[in-house]
Amino acid sequence: MTITDQDYQLFLNAVKYSSKYDFSQYSEKSLKRRLGKVLSDNNLNITTLISRIKNSQEFVEKIVKEITVNTTELFRDPQVWQTIRYAILPKLKNNSIINIWHAGCSSGQEVYSMLILLNELEILDKTKIYATDLNSDVLESARVGEYKYRFNIGYLDNFDKVIKENPYNYEEYIDVPYEKYFQIDKVNDLIRMNSFLKEKPIFKRHDLVTENNTLYVKFDIIMCRNVIIYFNYDLQSKVFDLFHKNLYEDGCLILGLHETILGSHSVKYQKKGHGYYKN
Ligand SMILES: C[S@@+](CC[C@H](N)C(=O)[O-])C[C@H]1O[C@@H](n2cnc3c(N)ncnc32)[C@H](O)[C@@H]1O
């Protein structure tokens, strides 16, 4: 369904003035597309949608969950995880404590990828992992740590690439069975993360648009992958500012493969490999 500029504006205003959410600085093109999908999936027109937004917080929550994109994967973009494993995490080996924030963690696969790497590098015990998202449903899935097997067989390939192979030394092959970290239950079509991983992260609802750092610690690494791609330039700048303030000196921000820091904030970070280091 095509969304006119006027309908789009009415939707943004309805959300902004009748809820705690604000989508007015999201990227217009992708949000309009999502809004069109929400209307057709729910068989609604814009007038009815807006009136229901104004009258029910429960409905707003439902729409927010439908309008945001939650696609994620275990070891998504394995080459990025290889850099994290061989170039970014080893620098933190001598720290007494390591703090990591996954902002926009969706259903948690990114968090479990990090936990597995930390365990392989024997630095899991001294690491605190904070994982946040706008959407409380995906956070609940992250806490449960169970994923459909049928749709996610690719997780095993990604695991092998990141955990078993060393791209800097192809002769080396580290034979780690995936059962060390998760179990595959084919009868129930599930991949289940092992309990010692699930117990570790602090999952918390957090909105990057309206909230500052509500975790009240500073970070060695902030992962915010495939989130700012949905934000416009001004909102991206605001979020880069939040991250800059909350990274330790030399702390590292990791973005999605197709995301980059543009404008005035680019001089505040130095790009090395897949990481942006705070200057
Ligand atoms: C495409 S997923 C990315 C998941 C994961 N980081 C990855 O790269 O695989 C984007 C996530 O950002 C979250 N998100 C969108 N807007 C947000 C906001 N304002 N504050 C926090 N999270 C947000 C969505 O709910 C969604 O779970």
- How does pLDDT run across 201-252, given as a tens digit for each residue? 999 999 999 999 999 999 999 999 999 999 999 999 999 999 999 999 999 9
Give the distance (Å) from ligand 1 centre to CA of residue 151: 20
Please name the helix (run of DSSP H) or strand (run of DSSP E) that holds residue 7, with its range, or none.
helix 5-18
The per-residue pLDDT for 265 is 87
Count of all residues that appear for the chain in the document:
279
Rounded to an integer, what distance in angstroms lies between the CA atom of residue 158 and that of residue 254? 18
Give the distance (Å) from ligand 1 centre to CA of residue 170: 34
The per-residue pLDDT for 168 is 86
74, 105, 106, 242, best to mutate for ligand 1 pocket (most atoms within 8 Å of CB): 106
Q: Is 134 in the pocket of ligand 1 (CB under 6 A)?
A: yes
Average pLDDT over residues 168-180: 90
The per-residue pLDDT for 2 is 86
Whether the full predicted model's pTM is greater than 0.85, yes or no, is yes
The per-residue pLDDT for 230 is 97
Helices (H), 68-159: 78-83, 109-120, 136-144, 154-159
Reported confidence tier of residue 33, pLDDT bands at 50, 70, 90: very high
Reported confidence tier of residue 1, pLDDT bands at 50, 70, 90: confident
- How does pLDDT run across 56-112, given as a tens digit for each residue? 999 999 999 999 999 999 999 999 999 999 999 999 999 999 999 999 999 999 999
192 pLDDT above the threshold of 90: yes
CA dihedral (76, 77, 82, 83) positive or negative? negative
Q: Is 64 in the pocket of ligand 1 (CB under 6 A)?
A: no
Q: Is 227 in the pocket of ligand 1 (CB under 6 A)?
A: yes
CA-only gyration radius of the chain, Å:
20
174 pLDDT above the threshold of 90: no
Give the distance (Å) from ligand 1 centre to CA of residue 58: 20
